[in-house]
Structures are given as C-alpha cells and as structure tokens.
Structure 1
C-alpha cells in the first residue's frame, strides 16, 4: 500500500462531504414530499458523484499500489485483487 498524500485525503473528504450534503438534501426532499422525478434526479447525481470518487481511488490504486506490486514481483496477487474490486464496482 502506498499512503495517500494529505492533499489526496483532503480532496476525497471534500467530495464525500459534498455527497453527504446531497444525501441530506434528498432526505429533506422526501420529508417535504417532493416530486418523485426531482428526487430521482438527485439520487442519480449522488450515484454519479460516488462513482467518480470510486474511479479516482481506483485510478490512484492502479497507478501507485498495483504498479508498485508489479515492480516488486507480487503483481499477480495485486491484479487479482484489482479485478475482484472492478467486478464489485461494476455491479
């Protein structure tokens, strides 16, 4: 594992807090009995935002952790783990 930089951590946390705010907004929309389509549009935006965070983490993982494992001779295990998470992520 290659530790994340402070800047990377801050960026991820910032995105997750924004998503958290969106989720709270959807909760309020439900409480206020808002139109279903409006709620669904917001849920779609949240899903897209989470996918973007996940893809950014995946890209970093491949660029740092997987490439390091390959250089150090433990690439097969790392690639297998990567494929498992890609399968999970694509569900």
Structure 2
C-alpha cells in the first residue's frame, strides 16, 4: 500500500473564516479540492486499517502486520501535516491578525500532541 506524499498548497480563503463561529465554537473552511484530497487519503487509511484487521484475523506473520501499521502511521502523519500547514497558514494567521494570541498556546498544545 503506497502513500501519496504530495502536499497541497492551501488555497486562498478570501471571504471565508477558517475559524468562524459554529455551534461547537470554531469551524475550518477548506476548498473542495483540499477536502477531496484529505477524504481520499483518509479513505485509503481506512482501507489499510481494515487490511490490518484482516491480517490479524488470518494470523499473518507479526512483522508483516507491524510493517502495515507503520505505513498507516506514516499516512496519518501525512494527513496531519497537511492539516497543520493549512491551519497555520489560515486559522492561526487570521486569529493573530484579530489580536487573539491564545491561538499560539493552542497551536503548541496541538503540535505536542501530533509529535508524540
């Protein structure tokens, strides 16, 4: 199972707020192209996870299963990097421009979770 590693440049979000108000607080706005790319990657990861489940059920050799898990983790990290890049280039900048410096603490907390 191969991993797509091309990073998509976030598109301009003129007229839309990356972290606009919603019932739950904030909402992110991604272009349709960016959403499609992320959903495609997540669908692929979902398939990889189902594959690992099948490998476990078939008593596949542990090393082979572990290699597939490593591939899944790499794929998830790639999706996380894309989202983090978009977040920093849009949400974080927008909130800083609005004078909201709390976004920096939030960003550091999120980054610490991502790099665990």
Using structure 2 for the length normalisation, give the TM-score: 0.74
What's the Cα RMSD here?
Answer: 0.9
Structure 1 gap segments, 5+ residues each: none
| Larger fraction in strand | 2
- Moved segments of 4+, more than 2 Å: none
Structure 2 gap segments, 5+ residues each: 1-18, 20-27
How far apart, in 1, do the equivalents of 2:112 and 2:56 lie? 32
- Paired positions, count: 90
How far apart, in 1, do the equivalents of 2:43 and 2:29 lie? 21
Structure scoring higher RCO (CA < 8 A, sep ≥ 6) equals 2
Question: What displacement does 1:57 show?
Answer: 0.2
The partner residue of 1:8 within 13, 17, 34 is 34
Using structure 1 for the length normalisation, give the TM-score: 0.94
